[in-house]
Chain A
Amino acid sequence: MARLNDDAQWIILMGFLVSFSLFFLALIINQSTVVGQSTAESVIEFPKNDIRDISHVIKEHAEKNGKIDDRVYHDIINLSIQREGAVVNYTLNTQYYQRLDVFNHSLIHYNNGVTTYSENWTSE
């Protein structure tokens, strides 16, 4: 025991190095799957067009006071569930300020189980 034998430190250092590079590789593997999936697939999965379409058809059809025809609303709700697998909801909240000032706040809601979307809208 004249002096400390430090040969084993190399081994420990190597262990560190190997574990770090493994960690690094694992990180890359992890990312590669993310890149492969998230680009095109997520574009397809995110129902941007469905949401925009629902919002558009409701806004186009709503009257000035924000009301939409019962028959049309009924169609939209039922067909959404049956054909798009999405719950659509439209609620109109009319507030009166001093009898003549009327404000219509509407809420358009969309939920297909994965994506939920809500939009506040005021008809003019």
Chain B
Amino acid sequence: MLAFIWIASMIPGILLNLQSNTIDFDAVAYRTGVILAEDPGWPSSPPWEFYGDNQKYEISRFGMAIAKDSPGVLSQDKVNRFFCSSFMYPDDYQKWAIFGDYPYRFNISVKDIDGGTGQSVGDVLPDRYGYIRRLVKIKGTSNTSIGSAYFVAHKYINNTITAIPSDFNVTRHEFSILINNTKLREEQKSPAYQIDPTRDQIIINITDLRSTIFPGYNPGYIPSIDRSSVNISLTSIKVYKLDGGTLSMVRTFDTPYIDGSSTPKAPPVIVQDNISLIINPRIFDIMQTGYSNVYLNLTFEMQDHAVPPNPLNSSFLNNTLTTPFDYNYHPANVTQPQLRDAVMEVAVW
């Protein structure tokens, strides 16, 4: 009898759990939506998305917002890392996004409306579930394409002298790109529009290499040239950092994408026409370049295999005597980060 009374008095408790969970699902969905859409996650520096699969247990909370002060603006890098298959469903997400002891099942998705893509993680939806929909923006990456028009306009190639063939002769072919982190931080304070190489990927495309080998080619002075027989070799990409007036080489950048290839190749490498540098924010973060100038120096070498040899040495791409290419907020230099519309949906059951 005592046991019966005891069990009977437990029944409402059990039912209450069932009851409160249907309500709880919406609340948990809401909470998860807020955490993911309005919080940048923890740790913040280096941010959680930099943690590799081996250190993922140091993450304490997911969050896709770019900064605490700009809720609803998501970082592309964080979104990609969040949906990365190296996180286990449901355990990892439960621990760092859903929270609580109850073994919730859920489905989280981010649909990029402007980009037309979607990513999701979780189970197939049942009939009834707690739900929240958040409208967000995804901050796109900035990028630049440096081509022949730009080379000419900024005198990155020596095409002004056309009379004396020897003037074409430039022995060094070194192209340098400046990323002035102090200026990038000061000229745009709002994190939603800031170019922040330590948090967002930047892309630098250098194109038209083949067609600009002999930029000053003038048929009146030089009878013929054979561009296709010249091997353009990218010998190195060195990364320099200017700190307190001293310029020091920090590392080399070994993952350029050559001629539209889908896998990066370490220099030295033969280039036909173009180079893409996709620079991961982790590189800048590891170098601790928060406020210093970073120079990327690309060194090229030319080997002429033409028979007969081309009558001149190339005056190819070289800005050691002029100014480095500045990765800044000028729309003519750099395509600025765009905010794209997206919708985040969280379903919990």
Binding site for B on A (CB under 8 A): 17, 21, 24-25, 28, 31-32, 35-36, 39-40, 43, 52, 124
Binding site for A on B (CB under 8 A): 2, 5-6, 9, 12-13, 16, 19-20, 23-24, 26-27, 30, 71, 189
Instruction: Indicate whether A39 sits within 8 Å of B2 (C-beta atoms), given known contacts A28-B16, A124-B189.
Output: no
Pick the contact of B71: A17, A39, A52 (CB < 8 A): A52
**B24, A17: Cβ atoms closer than 8 Å:** no
26 contacts between A and B (CB under 8 A): A17-B2, A17-B5, A21-B5, A21-B6, A25-B9, A28-B12, A28-B16, A31-B16, A32-B16, A32-B19, A32-B20, A35-B23, A35-B24, A36-B20, A36-B23, A39-B23, A39-B24, A39-B26, A39-B27, A40-B23, A40-B26, A40-B27, A43-B27, A43-B30, A52-B71, A124-B189
State the Cβ distance, B183 to closest chain A Cβ, in Å: 15
Query: Sorted from nearest, which 6 A-B pairs have the closest CB atoms?
Result: A39-B27, A21-B9, A35-B20, A39-B23, A32-B16, A28-B12
- Name the residue on A nearest B13 (C-beta): A28
Q: How far does the alpha carbon of A39 sit from the alpha carbon of B26 in the complex, in Å?
A: 8
Q: How far does the alpha carbon of A24 sit from the alpha carbon of B11 in the complex, in Å?
A: 12
Q: How far does the alpha carbon of A43 sit from the alpha carbon of B6 in the complex, in Å?
A: 36
Q: How far does the alpha carbon of A32 sit from the alpha carbon of B17 in the complex, in Å?
A: 9
Q: How far does the alpha carbon of A35 sit from the alpha carbon of B6 in the complex, in Å?
A: 24
Instruction: Indicate whether A25 sits within 8 Å of B189 (C-beta atoms), given known contacts A17-B5, A36-B23, A40-B23.
Output: no
**Chain B positions within 8 Å of A43 at CB level:** 27, 30
**Chain B positions within 8 Å of A32 at CB level:** 16, 19-20
Q: In terms of DSSP, what is the predominant structure of the interface of chain B?
A: helix
Known: A36-B20, A39-B23. 13 other contacts (CB 8 A): A21-B5, A21-B6, A24-B9, A28-B12, A28-B16, A32-B19, A35-B20, A35-B24, A39-B24, A40-B23, A40-B26, A43-B30, A52-B71
Q: How far does the alpha carbon of A32 sit from the alpha carbon of B19 in the complex, in Å?
A: 9
- Name the residue on B nearest A60 (C-beta): B190
Q: How far does the alpha carbon of A50 sit from the alpha carbon of B216 in the complex, in Å?
A: 63
**Chain A positions within 8 Å of B12 at CB level:** 25, 28
- Name the residue on A nearest B186 (C-beta): A124
- Name the residue on B nearest A38 (C-beta): B27
- Name the residue on B nearest A56 (C-beta): B69
**Chain B positions within 8 Å of A36 at CB level:** 20, 23
**Chain A positions within 8 Å of B6 at CB level:** 21
**Chain A positions within 8 Å of B19 at CB level:** 32
Q: How far does the alpha carbon of A39 sit from the alpha carbon of B12 in the complex, in Å?
A: 20
**Chain B positions within 8 Å of A25 at CB level:** 9, 12
**Chain A positions within 8 Å of B20 at CB level:** 32, 35-36
Q: How far does the alpha carbon of A39 sit from the alpha carbon of B20 in the complex, in Å?
A: 10
State the Cβ distance, B26 to closest chain A Cβ, in Å: 7
Q: How far does the alpha carbon of A31 sit from the alpha carbon of B15 in the complex, in Å?
A: 13
Q: How far does the alpha carbon of A24 sit from the alpha carbon of B12 in the complex, in Å?
A: 11
**Chain A positions within 8 Å of B27 at CB level:** 39-40, 43
State the Cβ distance, B12 to closest chain A Cβ, in Å: 6
**Chain A positions within 8 Å of B71 at CB level:** 52
Q: How far does the alpha carbon of A124 sit from the alpha carbon of B186 in the complex, in Å?
A: 10
State the Cβ distance, A100 to closest chain B Cβ, in Å: 19
Q: How far does the alpha carbon of A39 sit from the alpha carbon of B27 in the complex, in Å?
A: 6
State the Cβ distance, A35 to closest chain B Cβ, in Å: 5
The residue among A17, A21, A35, A39 with the most chain B CB atoms within 10 A of its own CB is A39
State the Cβ distance, B70 to closest chain A Cβ, in Å: 9
- Name the residue on B nearest A124 (C-beta): B189
- Name the residue on A nearest B23 (C-beta): A39
- Name the residue on B nearest A42 (C-beta): B27
State the Cβ distance, B244 to closest chain A Cβ, in Å: 22
**Chain A positions within 8 Å of B189 at CB level:** 124
Q: How far does the alpha carbon of A35 sit from the alpha carbon of B26 in the complex, in Å?
A: 12
Q: How far does the alpha carbon of A25 sit from the alpha carbon of B12 in the complex, in Å?
A: 8
State the Cβ distance, B327 to closest chain A Cβ, in Å: 23
**Chain A positions within 8 Å of B5 at CB level:** 17, 21
Q: How far does the alpha carbon of A35 sit from the alpha carbon of B22 in the complex, in Å?
A: 11
**Chain B positions within 8 Å of A35 at CB level:** 20, 23-24
Q: How far does the alpha carbon of A36 sit from the alpha carbon of B21 in the complex, in Å?
A: 10
Q: How far does the alpha carbon of A112 sit from the alpha carbon of B155 in the complex, in Å?
A: 62
State the Cβ distance, A120 to closest chain B Cβ, in Å: 14
